Amino acid sequence: MPPLFPALTEHPADRPALRFGERSLTYAQLAAAAGALTGRFGGAARVAVWATPTLETAVAVTAALLAGVPAVPLNPKSGAKELGHILSDSTPGLVLAAPDAELPAALADLARVDVDVHGTGPAPEDRGRDEDPALIVYTSGTTGPPKGAVIPRRAIASTLDALADAWQWTGDDVLVHGLPLFHVHGLVLGTLGPLRRGGSVRHLGRFSTQGVARELTTGATMLFGVPTMYHRIAEAVTGEPELVTALTGARLLVSGSAALPVHDHGRIATATGRRVIERYGMTETLMNTSVRADGEARPGTVGVPLPGVELRLVEEDGSEVAAYDGETVGEIQVRGPNLFTEYLNRPDATAAAFTADGFFRTGDMAVRDPDGYVRIVGRKATDLIKSGGYKIGAGEIENALLEHPGVREAAVTGEADPDLGERIVAWIVPDDPQAPPGLKELADHVAERLAPHKRPRVVHHLDALPRNDMGKIMKRALTHG
């Protein structure tokens, strides 16, 4: 297999590779630091990485990939119980961390290697094979202990190359983002992506609209973010002219990890003339679909399947939906080189995740337009509402609610109803807490835009919606709260 990062040896030594705040490394310095680090692995079968948003994390993961040693990114915000589970499940031989990182007691028994970003050693030869495990990334564990998705090298290479095709991503691009490095979004796309292309990444450390404006006006060409970040951008464009100028000049604005509300799409497009494009992926599948840079940026959709990815929508009995008409809801199943290999130590869960013909059951519900565009309407477990004989996706109702001027944030769930089976429940953060919109007003608003059977039957007003560190709404906290 060709090397994952040919630029480490083929590019000019002084070409910028990584920048985190004021600290940076060229490709030559990254190769030297990675080479020095791999000599300290001591034959470990796996290595854990204390994945802070730092140069050290990027160097550690790069070194592990070059050495052919699977890396287990650890979320620094994980609690002791979750960390303990991940460590006992993945059994890393050591933990790689920044020298100044304070590690929790759960890691006390694990050998520690401090990452020296200024280390010098021969660049390790990349001898990895397609099916070799590259990363073990743990899922969020919403339905039990987190599962370790084993991601092979071919999945990383195929996803990044497919995105290069879809986004016209080249070594001339400079990516800016402020994403965490223990998830696929920030680590694989946001860090390994630029390195595979021979471009560079500028990490903000902490996201800010001022940081985005600064980087996009000083050479950065692409911005990656999650909806929470783009919401802050949408709020800021009216009062930060330098941000508008910066966004207008960007080559590509990409949102992922959750659906970007159509309302925020509109506010950013109105202010800048630029459309944010969305893509769709999971820990287990890396990237499945995207709006293409040369395609129509259709708000509310995640575009079309990426090169090499097969995608179908299926009914509850496993049969493919009868029509891709933009209305019929089905579960997304995907097949392709982008898929993970297995859940570590969980053959039962691995077997249950795949169909007999090799498609992965994503648990995401969507509709598909006749021209192939996919619109996700929610998770099967939490966002598919069966009401009055209809299958309804929470996502489209949330987008409709967000178009109401009195709604700042919205989430939609279903709850048991003796007549309808399930009734639609809206959870609203009002724009003005002193004058929140009432049930009838919101129900009529939704019914006018979608269909009467999709209107909410119950409305709860909240100060804020519960979200995880990637900005996804934690609906189980709502339905059980």
Each residue of 164-182: pLDDT tens digit? Answer: 999 999 999 999 999 999 9
Each residue of 271-292: pLDDT tens digit? Answer: 999 999 999 999 999 999 999 9
Does the domain at 7-177 match CATH 3.30.70.660? Answer given as no
* CB neighbour list of residue 351: distance below 8 Å, 6 or more residues apart: none
Domain ranges across the chain: 7-177, 384-479
* CB neighbour list of residue 439: distance below 8 Å, 6 or more residues apart: 456, 457, 458, 459
Tell me: pLDDT of 116 over 90: yes
**pTM for the whole structure:** 0.85
In Å, what is the CA distance from 315 to each residue of 102, 251, 343, 354, 416? 49, 39, 25, 15, 22
From first CA to last CA, the distance across the chain in angstroms is 50
Each residue of 310-356: pLDDT tens digit? Answer: 999 999 899 999 989 988 989 999 999 999 999 999 999 999 999 99
Each residue of 246-279: pLDDT tens digit? Answer: 999 999 999 998 778 888 899 999 999 999 999 9
CATH architecture of structural domain 384-479: 2-Layer Sandwich (3.30)
Q: Are 51 and 75 in contact (CB under 8 A)?
A: yes
Q: Are 30 and 57 in contact (CB under 8 A)?
A: no
